Amino acid sequence: PPIGLGTTFDGSERPGLRNAEGANCPRCDLKQAMTISNNVVFTKLAAQVGPQKVADAARLAGITAPLENPDARLPLGNKEVTPVQLASAYATIAAGGVWHAPHMVSKVVDSDGRVLYEYQPGEGEQRFPEQVARNVAEAMMNVVDNDGLQLPDGQEAAGKTGTVQSRFEGQNNDAWTVGYTPSVSTAVWVGTDDNTPIKNSAGRPVYGR
């Protein structure tokens, strides 16, 4: 049967899989699970639809990193991707399922002001039905408010925070916030090259939110 934003799952913690603090829910739908960062629900969803289909959807959105041998933890981010890939993938969702190839250089100008190169965007490619993209966006619309992120009054944004827990108890190794407004998609990552805990100036762990 079809799975939608109102489909409910048991999101209670289970051995070997924790939720974010305060994110346990014995019965919550997909939008609520996204809002509160319930890990259990999305591993169950991935297992139900098939991890390879999750990887295929990520590829369509714009993820180019290897996603070999995916399992049900893929929605939690157990494969390495870059901020550019994530910003590109979220931009596909923001554009109603239309993918555009990401680029790093917009324009090159010489010392006399002559434009030597300027990026010309292509047509784009419809990777998802627009309704699917809108549903994904709707799932993320309450995350910003729930995580206490500040936006100008009236500014709508869809997004998701993410935190990679460290092997050291109570510490984190990576922190992400990725999201978009109607006009811009942005990915922010904080971490290290050697996969060690990240802390703020007060010595406390850094979280995605």
* Tens digits of pLDDT across the chain (209 residues): 789 999 999 999 888 888 877 889 999 999 999 999 999 999 999 999 999 999 999 999 999 999 999 999 999 988 999 999 999 999 999 999 999 999 999 999 999 999 999 999 889 999 999 999 999 999 999 998 888 887 888 888 999 999 988 889 889 999 999 999 988 999 999 999 888 999 999 999 999 98
The pLDDT, as a whole number, for residue 173 is: 94
Task: Report the pLDDT value the prediction gives residue 182, as an integer from 0 to 100.
Answer: 83
pLDDT value of position 5: 93
List of residues 6+ apart from 90 with CB closer than 8 A: 61, 158, 159, 178, 179, 180, 185, 187
**Confidence at residue 121, expressed as pLDDT on a 0 to 100 scale:** 86
The encoded tokens of residue 208 equal: 């995605």
pTM metric for this prediction: 0.89
Q: Alpha-carbon Rg of the chain, whole angstroms?
A: 18
The pLDDT value given to residue 132: 94
Are 185 and 90 within 8 A, CB to CB? yes
**Which pair of structure tokens corresponds to residue 32?**
């609520």
- CA angle 29–32–36, rounded 5-degree value: 135
Cα(58)–Cα(111) distance, integer angstroms: 41
